[in-house]
Structure 1
Amino acid sequence: MSMFAGTARYYRLYRPGIPAEVVQLLTAEAGRLAPARRLLDLGTGTGQVPAALHEVFTEIDAVEPDTDMVAQADAALRPLLPEGLRLHHQQAEDFTPPYPGWRADLVTICRAFHWMDQPVLVNKLDTYMAPTGVVAVMSDGSLWTARSAWTDALRQLIQRFLGEQRRAGGQTYARHDQPYAEVLAESAFSHVAEHRIALKRAWTPEQVIGYLYSTSFAARSLFGEAIEEFEDEAITLLQQFAADGPLLEDVEFQVLLARRPGASPGQS
């Protein structure tokens, strides 16, 4: 069973989108490419990255292992991209080029690199990336890792229902200790530039609950028969913190842009 079983609808509705600053950064990268531009989005989820970048690429391949996520991505992306879109229901590590001579110009991995076999994946990327291709690894943490009075209280409530260790579907979460920048620096894409964008998100209690149900650590199915009790307690808790205004989350959105040595940003 997928770690995200039953989460796809909530994921599409409640996951924060790609910040405008990140869209601008990636659009600028695409502007340096040849007219035929190919985007490969690995771990696409419900297709947020392709949806944000669809106007600047002529071909988009989106890869996602969860069946329901693929269906949600198709519903979101097909109206935007009636042509030039291919959805692949598979693990990122198993992706192969869709036709001979295909090369990816930009590979994006957003909020998904921690689920992947990173050394295997970056080695495979080297076999089908364009010579001046760019790998963009993006992350911004989660409400589990956020640190504020209301997120700490919420995390403690989840732990009371599901246990102290962070869940990952039916398993516990296995943390990757090596920084992403180091993983990339040890690969063929060793020229790594880091961008950090500070954001402040505002949540309502209802949005927070929807977000939790989109995650592998607090999906509805994990609570079993206790789901109504959890939701009632969570809403009460969040409403107390939101009595004087929205629930605020300080976010740092990290973008790592990795290239092969010698493939400078100005090349096309």
Structure 2
Amino acid sequence: MSVHPVRAEAFTAPHPGYQTDLITCSRAFHWMDYEDDLAASAFCSITEHRFPFARDWTPRGVLGYLRSTSFARPDLFADHTRFEEQAQALLQQHAQDGVLHEDGVFTVLLARRPGTSR
């Protein structure tokens, strides 16, 4: 098995005629027109799988998660301390017994080469 942990635009095939069996794309996939991109690729046999989940958060846990994201990391805020104080107060208002409940669904697209059945 070979692993190439690179951005798609930085990938160079290791040899002529190279074919891959698996490509993964997580959070960035929502920025793509995946239906057209996959339909035009060798991986045009697409199935969708949905995985419901439920999880409980504390307000501090939500803030910790936000700190780890690209869209709410501390350096994006002029006054991140104030943001966290206000967010903490707002989250506490919505928490029930200190808990925020989340129900969600992870959607996984499995795109294969036509005729493969692994």
Q: Does 1:104 align with 2:20?
A: yes
Mapping of 1:63-212 within 5 angstroms? 63=6, 91-97=7-13, 99-100=14-15, 103-115=19-31, 118=32, 178=33, 180-212=34-66
Amino acid at match of 1:100: H
Partner of 2:22, secondary structure, is: strand
TM-score with structure 2 setting the length = 0.81
Following the alignment from structure 2 to structure 1, what is the Cα–Cα distance between the partners of residues 19 and 54?
A: 37
Is the 1:184–1:190 Cα contact (8 Å) retained in structure 2?
Answer: yes
Task: Give 2:84's match in structure 1, choosing from 231, 244, 250.
Answer: 231
Deviations 1:200-240 (A, max 9, x none): 1211111111211222322211111x211111111111122
Q: Percent identity?
A: 50
More helix by share: 1
- Alignment size in residue pairs: 117
Partner of 1:108, secondary structure, is: coil
Q: Name structure 2 gaps, 5 residues minimum.
A: none
**For the structure 1 residues 182 and 199, does the alpha-carbon distance in structure 2 shift closer, same or farther, using more than 3 Å as the test?**
farther
Deviations 1:118-166 (A, max 9, x none): 5xxxxxxxxxxxxxxxxxxxxxxxxxxxxxxxxxxxxxxxxxxxxxxxx
Which is higher, the Rg of structure 1 or of structure 2?
2
Following the alignment from structure 1 to structure 2, what is the Cα–Cα distance between the partners of residues 206 and 256?
A: 32
Is the 1:181–1:256 Cα contact (8 Å) retained in structure 2?
Answer: no
How big is the shift at 1:197?
0.7
Is the 2:51–2:105 Cα contact (8 Å) retained in structure 1?
Answer: yes
Is the 1:199–1:252 Cα contact (8 Å) retained in structure 2?
Answer: yes
RMSD (Å), alpha carbons:
2.2
2:4 corresponds to which residue?
A: 61
